[in-house]
Chain A
């Protein structure tokens, strides 16, 4: 488990964070979770603003909580702010990341929805919708894979990998509320079983 980095964020840092989220918003076909691999690449691998553990726990907490999954973005911004030193900056991080991820996509949606609705039989519109299908599905798998890699080394942390595999099988094959599975994971983890 990697320790949280200590940051000194300049205004240029906040600005590039905002710009990055504005761009991600425009690219987030298939939902914000589809862009999680890109956020991971930018925030953890490239900028070192977040630790691996902070990234994964943000997604885990947002998925455990009610509401749209996009709120994991708020937690990522919150954690960046905390790493940069305090609650005020954490709130700034939430404001920047949430405005960034929602402003372009909702504006675009508002403007284009009516036009698309009227032209939904047109060949180009259908080609866009259907053509993106395999790409969107691949991005969901990529998100799952990157989350699973947070489990650590398969040789030593094989119990966590087994839990991931069991979750896939159960959700794929059975009708069960996701909350039960998350609760089971929490209990197994709490008592050190995994």
Chain B
């Protein structure tokens, strides 16, 4: 279904030589393709295992700079789609990229790569924690990490806020929409569905009005 978006996978050497002569983002013919389903699985496993914290940085580095499976322009476009869609951005991106090359099997290979090994690792960490969860030092360490994790998420929110400067809604409307959303979810513990269906729909309609054709 993604075939229209595809360069010829049979000419990787030609693409690679063109790559050296022109900037990496010149056009879609510059990019290479995953060689096989196994290639997709292994590549996304390695990407996932390097992804501590900011996954977008490692994804861009691996997929655009090293593998050259996407041009920079494509990466920006696909990432914005991955963000629009529900679900984890990096998981959505892996599904889209896998599907582009090998259809449904490709999507599943990329998804499996993204999830399988990190899942085993995180469960092992969880097991270790269960065995030592009464150890006062471990309790202390996790409390400390929890406090840091809260700070990391809040700092991410601050960084993302700067992206609202270019939002067509304008900064004051963004504040008017986001403050009640924060109060409802964080302080009042209202269900997320009310926020997305209520404030979210209002926000999209306002954005639609602002984006005159």
Contacts and interface: CB of A to CB of B under 8 A. Distances in A.
The CB with the most chain A CB atoms within 10 A, among B119, B155, B168, is that of B155
A92 interface: no
B21 interface: no
Contacts of B186: 37, 141-142, 145-146
Interface residues of A, number: 111
A144 B147 CA distance: 10
Given A37-B186, A67-B118, A132 B84 contact: yes
Secondary structure at chain A's binding surface: helix, strand, loop or mixed? helix
A28 B53 contact: no
Nearest to A193: B144
A48 B140 CA distance: 24
A124 B160 CA distance: 23
A106 B167 contact: no
A141 B82 CA distance: 20
Interface residues of B, number: 101
A66 B119 CA distance: 9
A167 to B, nearest CB: 3
B189 A37 contact: yes
A179 B53 contact: yes
B70 interface: no
A178 B51 CA distance: 11
A164 B55 CA distance: 22
B147 A68 contact: no
A15 interface: no
Interface stretch (B7-15, B25-33, B122-130): B122-130
Contacts of B96: 109-110, 113
Contact of A134 (B51, B95, B130, B164): B164
A186 B145 contact: yes
Contact of B155 (A67, A105, A171, A177): A171
A56 B153 CA distance: 13
Contact of A132 (B126, B204, B213): B204
B185 A139 contact: yes
Contacts of B155: 167-168, 170-172
Interface string A171-194: 110000111011011111111111
Contact of A68 (B51, B104, B141): B51
Interface of B: 1-2, 5, 48-55, 77-78, 80-92, 95-96, 99, 104, 107, 111, 114-115, 117-119, 121-123, 125-126, 129-130, 137-161, 163-164, 167-169, 173-175, 177-179, 181-182, 185-187, 189, 191-193, 195-196, 199-200, 203-208, 211, 213
11 contacts: A37-B185, A108-B86, A116-B84, A123-B213, A130-B168, A137-B161, A145-B186, A160-B143, A184-B144, A188-B144, A189-B139
